[in-house]
Chain A
């Protein structure tokens, strides 16, 4: 398939189109990877997929819009250039979202320890409904601009042309992925891996499983907020954060399934694969028989195909089934 696309690219001599599909796919994939990382961290610690992830991402993006444009806090208090003020406010909003994640875990997830996994997943669906409705009420009818410094600027180098925000997405994602990879080697990260392996055994070793849960949810919510920021600026959404932002995260589900629910490298690879597949489908699979908005369901189709061959994703650990 990739050969076919390459051949077509050569035939059309549409190098720009091809490169455009790649850069767009990479930046889209970076957002998916960020979302998928959040999913994987929460899953690794608590064995639960958080369906509230999209809502948390939208909430995070809203908080950025609120702190950076309405309050201009705490960036405004510090002074300095506009982009620095915005960044400080955005980081503050991301931290605030992480605190929201802590609260969610404490209130809704902690009491569910030991319940069937699907019940916990349903609790997160309940959380999704509540957070999404309240966030939508905050956002109200018009999308909220984030006031980001990227604007609609385009960076060009040869055939490559990317929006500033796309470049920023990729850089931030790489930094965060490295940070998470390091985190899993740190003391808390090792404790989290132990918890993922066996909660009771981890507890017996003196690991506070509850605290690990809380940390995982905080990190997950923070990552969701970062993804929320990049999914509601140009070129993903020109208007800012809106009711649509929450649904964006659903397309990261194929990414985590593709990579395997419990694999950090899997989340990154899955995110980029899905992003590229969606981008290429959007650019090349334009035959009208596919219908309008076909690229939106390409992630799900790729996921189903992969699952037929590898039921636990590309990097997922196969569950050992005992009687």
Chain B
């Protein structure tokens, strides 16, 4: 079998999560890297400290990566519904909201302005998923009856109805004026003061990572402190890994195969014994479960949110993640969520760099000056001024590029990032031949 990775001699090996050694090693390295990022390990060469992934260990970047993990979890849920079962949904934000407010009621502070029971995370996090799944089951009968774009608009209606509910149930949500505080990510066994595992405060390096120091000590220096962002990131990344394994595994189960059969041709699936309504029901429940978990994590991560957080834009963001990444693939969905959050940061950095270049002058500066508006009477595409200005400001530019990316990806690369990855991989697989 050596050197022939595509020769499967048993059904088990073909169905295994990571069939080839290359994949196992790569995934192992990736997970290892995910753990290393927040620890900010550096290699000392001479008297300089080199941090290979140092910039990612920066707290601002860790926040972005935490967001990637949360949205990755939610997007994997939408991927089950849209990518596997082929049911278009714009209602993901609604289910996230349900999860978020379930978490708020169960885990929120006791005896404050809003309802809260102060229960620990191991109760409110699964409960958020379960309640969202229950609501998903309530909605499913309507959703099962309608198809295609009709379904897209029904789920769109859900978002608006949900927003109305959230805005008016002020004892739960705090209303749109101030919103409410949400439980923190700290792990408590019960309602004790000092959390069992603190994810939201700076502190010393967890003893769990001592072995790293022991193993790589001579070459890599790990700092003795861990920031709040690093801990939050690690907790969320761990959850993401669990969810990824579950989502990947789902594709190998009876339910997952039923989803895919339904997506590819629903009547044919029905003829072959896949019950239409029941399978869609399961898809909605599962997807809503993931959405509920992601919603609870999102608000716990943000800390305070208003009902308008769960609007159509949030739903669209998830659809975009799934489509840009590549519908129906777990790896693609993850790539999509990395892309959607890392890209705005890059645009921001780029605009900042452009402005600096313009101000410093020179050849590149005068070229960049055409695009950048630095004053009220300086026309340009992008403006660095606050408020009223001739061009788009950086956040507007971000949104416009985001929209253009959606259009561009769908037109030029319908398979998404995963499609690009496949082409790159196949190119090197066949290299130096083109086939």
- Assuming the contacts A123-B406, A254-B157, A323-B265, asked whether A133 and B150 have C-beta atoms less than 8 A apart, the reply is no
Interface-side segment among A211-219, A228-236, A292-300: A292-300
Interface assignment of A122: CB less than 8 Å from any CB of chain B = yes
Interface assignment of B204: CB less than 8 Å from any CB of chain A = no
CA of A130 to CA of B316 in the docked complex: distance in angstroms? 14
Interface assignment of A261: CB less than 8 Å from any CB of chain B = yes
Contact residue among B142, B268, B403 (Cβ-Cβ distance under 8 Å from A130): B403
- Assuming the contacts A141-B388, A250-B156, A297-B164, asked whether A115 and B414 have C-beta atoms less than 8 A apart, the reply is yes
CA of A49 to CA of B152 in the docked complex: distance in angstroms? 10
Interface assignment of A79: CB less than 8 Å from any CB of chain B = no
Most buried by B among A112, A129, A297, A304: A129
- Assuming the contacts A118-B88, A123-B410, asked whether A253 and B403 have C-beta atoms less than 8 A apart, the reply is no
Contact B410 A122 (CB under 8 A): yes
Can you list, as one digit per residue, whether each of B304-321 has a CB less than 8 Å from chain A (1) or not (0)?
000000001000100110
Interface-side segment among B184-192, B205-213, B392-400, B421-429: B392-400
Interchain nearest-CB distance for A322 vs B (Å): 7
Contact B396 A133 (CB under 8 A): yes
CA of A319 to CA of B168 in the docked complex: distance in angstroms? 38
CA of A122 to CA of B251 in the docked complex: distance in angstroms? 25
Interface assignment of B153: CB less than 8 Å from any CB of chain A = yes
B268: chain A residues at CB < 8 Å are: 323
Q: How many residues on chain B are close to A (CB under 8 Å)?
A: 47
A130: chain B residues at CB < 8 Å are: 400, 403-404, 407
Can you list, as one digit per residue, whether each of A241-261 has a CB less than 8 Å from chain B (1) or not (0)?
000000000100110110001
Interface assignment of A291: CB less than 8 Å from any CB of chain B = yes
Contact B410 A304 (CB under 8 A): no
Interface assignment of A127: CB less than 8 Å from any CB of chain B = yes
Contact B414 A119 (CB under 8 A): yes
CA of A270 to CA of B388 in the docked complex: distance in angstroms? 40
Contact A308 B399 (CB under 8 A): no
A322: chain B residues at CB < 8 Å are: 267
Interchain nearest-CB distance for B77 vs A (Å): 17
B266: chain A residues at CB < 8 Å are: 321
Contact B164 A321 (CB under 8 A): no
Can you list, as one digit per residue, whether each of B261-273 has a CB less than 8 Å from chain A (1) or not (0)?
0000111100100
Contact residue among B150, B392, B414 (Cβ-Cβ distance under 8 Å from A261): B150
Interface assignment of B241: CB less than 8 Å from any CB of chain A = no
Interface assignment of A121: CB less than 8 Å from any CB of chain B = yes
Can you list, as one digit per residue, whether each of B153-170 has a CB less than 8 Å from chain A (1) or not (0)?
110111011001101100
- Assuming the contacts A308-B145, A311-B150, A321-B267, asked whether A122 and B319 have C-beta atoms less than 8 A apart, the reply is yes
Interface assignment of B149: CB less than 8 Å from any CB of chain A = yes
B164: chain A residues at CB < 8 Å are: 291, 293-294, 296-297
A293: chain B residues at CB < 8 Å are: 164, 167
Q: How many residues on chain A are close to B (CB under 8 Å)?
A: 49
Interface assignment of A117: CB less than 8 Å from any CB of chain B = yes
Contact A122 B157 (CB under 8 A): no
Contact B160 A297 (CB under 8 A): yes
B165: chain A residues at CB < 8 Å are: 291
CA of A130 to CA of B405 in the docked complex: distance in angstroms? 10
Can you list, as one digit per residue, whether each of A124-138 has a CB less than 8 Å from chain B (1) or not (0)?
011111100110110
B363: chain A residues at CB < 8 Å are: none
Interchain nearest-CB distance for A109 vs B (Å): 9
CA of A307 to CA of B320 in the docked complex: distance in angstroms? 27
Interface assignment of A111: CB less than 8 Å from any CB of chain B = yes
Interchain nearest-CB distance for A77 vs B (Å): 27
Contact A304 B142 (CB under 8 A): yes
Interchain nearest-CB distance for B30 vs A (Å): 29
Residue of B nearest to A119 (CB): B410
A297: chain B residues at CB < 8 Å are: 160-161, 164
A319: chain B residues at CB < 8 Å are: 147-148
Contact A292 B167 (CB under 8 A): yes
Can you list, as one digit per residue, whether each of A282-305 has a CB less than 8 Å from chain B (1) or not (0)?
000000000111101100110110
Interchain nearest-CB distance for B405 vs A (Å): 8
- Assuming the contacts A133-B399, A308-B145, asked whether A300 and B157 have C-beta atoms less than 8 A apart, the reply is yes
B145: chain A residues at CB < 8 Å are: 307-308, 311
Contact B316 A125 (CB under 8 A): yes
Interface assignment of A108: CB less than 8 Å from any CB of chain B = yes
CA of A85 to CA of B167 in the docked complex: distance in angstroms? 44
CA of A111 to CA of B271 in the docked complex: distance in angstroms? 35
- Assuming the contacts A134-B400, A137-B396, asked whether A127 and B407 have C-beta atoms less than 8 A apart, the reply is yes
Interface assignment of A140: CB less than 8 Å from any CB of chain B = yes
B316: chain A residues at CB < 8 Å are: 125, 129
Interface assignment of A312: CB less than 8 Å from any CB of chain B = yes
Residue of B nearest to A253 (CB): B153
Within 8 A of B (CB), among A308-323: 308, 311-313, 319, 321-323
Interface assignment of B45: CB less than 8 Å from any CB of chain A = no
Residues of B within 8 A of A (CB): 82, 88, 141-142, 145-150, 152-154, 156-158, 160-161, 164-165, 167-168, 265-268, 271, 312, 316, 319-320, 323, 387-388, 392, 396, 399-400, 402-407, 410-411, 414
Q: A119-B414, A130-B407, A137-B396 are in contact. List 9 more A-B contacts (CB 8 A).
A: A49-B149, A118-B148, A120-B410, A126-B405, A129-B399, A129-B402, A129-B403, A253-B153, A292-B167
**Could you show 8 A-B contacts with beta carbons less than 8 Å apart?**
A112-B411, A129-B402, A133-B399, A136-B396, A257-B154, A291-B164, A319-B148, A321-B266
* 9 nearest A-B residue pairs (beta carbon): A291-B168, A129-B403, A126-B406, A300-B157, A130-B403, A126-B407, A297-B164, A126-B403, A133-B399
